[in-house]
Structure 1
Amino acid sequence: MNYLELKGLSARITRQNHPLLRNVSLAVAPGEVRGLVGESGAGKSMIGKAVLGILPKAVELTGGEILLGGEDLQRLSERDRRHRIGQTCALIPQDPLTALNPSRRIAPQITDRLVDILGWDRARAVARAEELLDEVRIQDPARVMRAYPHELSGGMRQRILIASAFAAEPKLIVADEPTTALDVTVQKQILKLIRDMQTRHGTALLFVTHDLGVVSKVCNRLSVLYGGMVVEDNDVPGFFAGPRHAYSRALLAATPKYTDPGASLTPVPDQVIAEVRAEIDAYDRGVAHV
């Protein structure tokens, strides 16, 4: 059974009546990693925010369902929805420096989740936090727990966010480009760490990224987005063997090849962009006439 299911999810900017998500449907099973790929503005992060109930105030859902464990979040009261998401979901954000509170030590930024969500006492939460820091391969967890975020490297801060995300044993984690702010060497370590932790805990993972190379290493399935619409849903081996949609094929062809340094980049052809925009325009016209 899938833990997360999106069925025809649509969203718009309220005042401008501008669509941001168009009929998005996808699923993530326990222990599965679903990649969301596409260029900037495609709607990848917006999907994650919709699932977590943290859409900007100017954005509203206009249709569809968000099911967690078979339960439709849209049918719950705001209080029950927040409780359900808080109990079962977590986020690994993009920028570890801004995601951590600079005025607080590391310890409470992990233990508060255990105390508030699981109802643990503070001593038990501190012990578990140290275990988690050890699990994400941070040396001397007790010392790091006493540190402030600015005293740690970017890689260590991201490891702390990963530990915090897994702290309350969530059923679903949204990872929103979690390696963007890191250098290449640290990126590789963090990706392996996320995959190892996800496999060990059996967590469903929604992974937002621009990088198809990351998808090939981390994900089981992927959804390719353009203009807030899923243009391809495929398993990862099938996608890299032969994408089904013209835009997906162009996106894969545009990916730099590390085996050929210095080669010219291949942009997505204008004709392909025109074709996928025509698909979106046709969908919008159909919605407008309903």
Structure 2
Amino acid sequence: MSYLSVKNLTVELSNGVPLLRRVSLDVAAGEVRALVGESGAGKSMIGKAVLGILPRAAKLTGGEIILDGEDLQALSPKARRQRIGAKAALIPQDPLTALNPSRRIGPQITDRLVEILGWKRKAAEARALELLEEVHIQAPERVMKAYPHELSGGMRQRILIASAFAAEPKLIIADEPTTALDVTVQKQILKLIRDMQQRHGTALLFVTHDLGVVSKIGQSLTVLYGGKVIEETSVKTFFDAPKHPYSKALLAATPKYTDPDGSLLPVPDSVITAVEQEVASFDTQGNG
């Protein structure tokens, strides 16, 4: 059974330019689904639409978002925020900008528990300390009193992971959570997210442009181009035998660690032209 089900999701700018084109996807309980594609494909926009944090210039104009069997669009704005706050969480891309530089770490973890879920402050602080230990942060009492700038990038990202898991959500959306980290720390953070996801049985929607990351963390995969779903398959099938020409081109363009001196292969213009025509035709069908 799907914990998250997105059906024909359409998001447009205020001038009518589409950002998501009737996107449908499912994430089962405990599943890791990766969203991949070039910059501007609509990966992060899906996560923002689910969490109700679309930018002001964008508007959800069609489709359904079913979270734990409940249609979020049928709820009042207040009820929707409460449901999302209790059942879903976000691991954002850049920990330095995601954390408030003028506040200590402790309240930034506990506020969500206290203000949205009604926890007592003391219980929330105990939970925060427990989570900091779970994400392998030493001296958690000291870190709770620290400011973000006093910590390394890897520690800040671990804190965001701890914060995301704080209320035991059944869905976490990770929006390129390793992009701002160096390769060594990236590997540690990926393993931590995977370990936490498995331990807590959380559904994970993982946004990335890095197919190498997908191979390490994903179970299923959705390929996007121009806000349209191009291919949906298992990660194993994608790497063994992708079906869509654009998917094949993306895979071919990925650098091979086994061939460090090999040439980088851009996605051919012919493939881009064909997939753009496919998107245009899809729009025409939708408006017909």
TM-score by length of 1: 0.98
Q: Which residue of 2 aligns with 1:20?
A: 19
Q: How many residues align?
A: 288
Matched, 1:100 2:99: yes
Give the 3-state SS of the residue equivalent to 2:60 in structure 1: strand
Deviation at 1:34, TM superposition (A): 0.5
Deviation at 1:104, TM superposition (A): 0.5
Q: Which residue of 1 aligns with 2:82?
A: 83
Mapping 1:204-215, distance limit 5 Å: 204-215=203-214
Give a deviation string over 1:210-244, Cα, whole Å, max 9, x none: 00010011011000000000100001111111001
In 1, Cα distance between equivalents of 2:215 and 2:183? 16
Deviation at 1:76, TM superposition (A): 1.1
What RMSD, in angstroms, separates the aligned Cα atoms of the two structures?
Answer: 0.8
Deviation at 1:118, TM superposition (A): 3.0
Q: Return the letter of the residue paired with 2:112.
A: R
Give the 3-state SS of the residue equivalent to 2:167 in structure 1: coil
In 1, Cα distance between equivalents of 2:80 and 2:121? 26
Deviation at 1:287, TM superposition (A): 2.4
In 1, Cα distance between equivalents of 2:39 and 2:177? 15
Q: Which residue of 1 aligns with 2:141?
A: 142
Q: Which residue of 2 aligns with 1:285?
A: 284
Q: Which residue of 2 aligns with 1:250?
A: 249
In 1, Cα distance between equivalents of 2:200 and 2:217? 15
Q: Which residue of 1 aligns with 2:227?
A: 228
In 1, Cα distance between equivalents of 2:270 and 2:78? 47
In 1, Cα distance between equivalents of 2:17 and 2:121? 46
Q: Return the letter of the residue paired with 2:4.
A: L
Structure 1: runs of 5+ lacking an equivalent = none
In 2, Cα distance between equivalents of 1:207 and 1:222? 9
Structure 2: runs of 5+ lacking an equivalent = none
Q: Return the letter of the residue paired with 1:153.
A: S
In 2, Cα distance between equivalents of 1:50 and 1:115? 25
Matched, 1:34 2:33: yes
In 2, Cα distance between equivalents of 1:70 and 1:121? 29
Q: Which residue of 2 aligns with 1:52?
A: 51
Q: Which residue of 1 aligns with 2:2?
A: 2
Deviation at 1:81, TM superposition (A): 1.0
In 2, Cα distance between equivalents of 1:277 and 1:216? 27
In 1, Cα distance between equivalents of 2:34 and 2:146? 33
Give the 3-state SS of the residue equivalent to 1:3 in structure 2: strand
Mapping 1:178-193, distance limit 5 Å: 178-193=177-192
Deviation at 1:173, TM superposition (A): 0.6
In 1, Cα distance between equivalents of 2:93 and 2:85? 19
Question: 1:111 touches 1:125 (CA, 8 Å); kept in 2?
Answer: yes
Deviation at 1:122, TM superposition (A): 1.4
Deviation at 1:23, TM superposition (A): 1.2
Q: Which residue of 1 aligns with 2:151?
A: 152
Give the 3-state SS of the residue equivalent to 2:237 in structure 1: helix
In 1, Cα distance between equivalents of 2:3 and 2:115? 23
Deviation at 1:262, TM superposition (A): 2.5
Give the 3-state SS of the residue equivalent to 2:100 in structure 1: coil
Give the 3-state SS of the residue equivalent to 1:133 in structure 2: helix
Give the 3-state SS of the residue equivalent to 1:222 in structure 2: strand
In 1, Cα distance between equivalents of 2:78 and 2:122? 29
Give a deviation string over 1:80-125, Cα, whole Å, max 9, x none: 1111111111000000000000011000011112212332211111
Give a deviation string over 1:180-212, Cα, whole Å, max 9, x none: 000000000000000000000001111000000
In 1, Cα distance between equivalents of 2:131 and 2:68? 26
In 2, Cα distance between equivalents of 1:51 and 1:13? 17
Q: Percent identity?
A: 73
Question: 1:95 touches 1:180 (CA, 8 Å); kept in 2?
Answer: yes
Give the 3-state SS of the residue equivalent to 2:10 in structure 1: strand
Give the 3-state SS of the residue equivalent to 1:25 in structure 2: strand
